[in-house]
Amino acid sequence: MRGTLTIGKILGIPIRLHSSWFLVAALITWSLAGGYFPQQYPGWAGTTYWIVGAITALLFFGSVLLHELGHSILALREKVPVRSITLFIFGGVAQINREPPTAGAEFRIAIAGPLTSLGLAGLSSLLGSAVASSAVLAAPLAYVGRINLMLALFNLIPGFPLDGGRVLRSILWGLGATFRSATRWASWVGRGVAFLFILVGVGQIFLGGFLNGLWIAFIGWFINNAAESSYQQIVLRDTLAGVKVRDVMTQQCLTVPKDMQLGRLVEDHVLGAGQRCFFVADEDDLQGLITLHNIRAAPRDQRDTLTASQVMTPTNSLFRAHPDEDLLTLIQRMDEADVNQVPVTDNGHLLGVITREHLLRYMRLRSELGI
């Protein structure tokens, strides 16, 4: 979910718009103003169609946001942290930091979204009936009511990671399956649902409904990828359970003196040896870190005069790890901070480094060994 814009917070949860949201918001507004409303409500002024279309699109995304807030509020009640809510091309997603602790908590968190959408569908219908005499007011409410009903029903499809798939997982988990086994079964069902979507979409394309068919097939592709990646996250969690940073860290980053010339560093160690990161240290005391990003930021014509200490990221600005930290926690922090290498320190003393490349190699080896 990179390429997002934070627009505010609700209950301490950052609300973000992904770049794809702007495209789909424009497309929904255009389809409503240019097709749906002129067919359903002929005779309005041209600007009225566009205003009502834009308002309806905003109400739709507001409904999606409330759907995700339904999940998030229940997650917070179950002591499960919520990192953010992001609106994107397929609607919205609440990014929860960890899995629910029990099957009951999973069920309550999963079902909260569809129940919220059903409540919004009922409320929209009631409000639409109350203002039925004014078509301009009733039209967006009627549309949003139907969309919320469809949103609730769609999310109840038992295809993981849709809400219905999470409900299915909670039921299997509650009946005695392990969390990983329940996730695997729910993921298989989710992939089966995804392939049905793809088949229906391809069928519609051949029958002449190109845009609708393409969209349905695209949704199926997204559900399939999400189901597979969600299960792999559980496998990763189980694989790395109990593994500490000290078990994986290496000395892959070379330590260089703070007065080393940047030009020499590039010639001898970047181009000559293929090194990508360097610790700047005074004996065992970490002073900073130099990465390829730091080197690229330095003017090329000044590399022979600049020293390591002048281009490094200083210790007080450095993202660091402790050797006794859980590796899975560190991976999550690295993902949130978007960093590729992390020095491992204890009381300011440099012990090693964790890099993304080394993490991938470590996980691949464990998988090949069946550990």
Dist. CA 240–CA 242, nearest whole Å: 6
Question: Hey, CA dihedral for 294, 345, 371, 252, is it positive or negative?
Answer: positive
Contact of 145 with 128, CB cutoff 8 Å: yes
**Which amino acid type is present at position 292?**
L
In three-state secondary structure terms, 272 is coil
Dist. CA 80–CA 73, nearest whole Å: 10
Contact of 339 with 353, CB cutoff 8 Å: no
Catalytic status, residue 228: no
In three-state secondary structure terms, 310 is helix
Dist. CA 225–CA 234, nearest whole Å: 15
Dist. CA 149–CA 146, nearest whole Å: 5
Catalytic residue among 68, 106, 325, 336: 68
Per the listing, tokens 């279309």 go with 53
Q: List active site positions.
A: 68
